[in-house]
Structure 1
Amino acid sequence: MKELYLDNCLYFASNRLARQTEKLARQAYRPTGLSPTYNYILLTIDQLKQVTLHDLAVKMGIAPSTMSRLIQNLVAKDLIVKKTNWRQIELTLSKKGKENLPLVKKCYFKLDKMVSSLLTEEKKQELILLLDKQADKFI
Structure 2
Amino acid sequence: MKIDDSILSLCLFFTSNRFSRYMTKIAEDAFAETNLSPSYIYLLIVVYQYPGITQKKLCDKLSIAPSTSTRFINKLEKLNLVYRRSEWKETHIHLSEKGVELCEKMDECFDELHKRYASILGEEKSNELAKILYESSEIIKKEKF
Q: Same fold (TM over 0.5)?
A: yes
Match of 1:12 in 2: 14
1: CA distance, partners of 2:70 / 2:5: 44
- In the superposition, relative to structure 1, how do residues 119 and 7 fare at CA in structure 2: closer, same or farther (>3 Å)? closer
Match of 2:60 in 1: 58
Are residues 1:22 and 2:55 paired?
Answer: no
Match of 2:33 in 1: 31
TM-score, length of structure 2 as denominator length? 0.87
Greater relative contact order (Cα 8 A, min sep 6): structure 1 or 2? Answer: 1
Q: Secondary structure at the match of 2:31?
A: helix
1: CA distance, partners of 2:109 / 2:83: 23
The Cα of 1:43 is off from its aligned counterpart by 1.1
- In the superposition, relative to structure 1, how do residues 6 and 56 fare at CA in structure 2: closer, same or farther (>3 Å)? same
* Runs of 5+ consecutive residues of structure 1 not aligned to the other structure: none
Task: Indicate the percent of aligned positions where both proteins have the same amino acid.
Answer: 35
Range moving further from structure 2, 125-134 or 86-95: 125-134
CA contact (8 A) 1:32 1:103 kept: no
- In the superposition, relative to structure 1, how do residues 3 and 46 fare at CA in structure 2: closer, same or farther (>3 Å)? closer
* Runs of 5+ consecutive residues of structure 2 not aligned to the other structure: none
2: CA distance, partners of 1:47 / 1:121: 25
Residue-by-residue CA offset, 1:91-130 (whole Å, 9 max, x unaligned): 1110111122233332111111111212333322221221
TM-score, length of structure 1 as denominator length? 0.90
Letter of the structure 1 residue corresponding to residue 93 of structure 2: L
After the TM superposition, which segments of 4 or more aligned residues of structure 1 sit over 4 Å from their partners? none
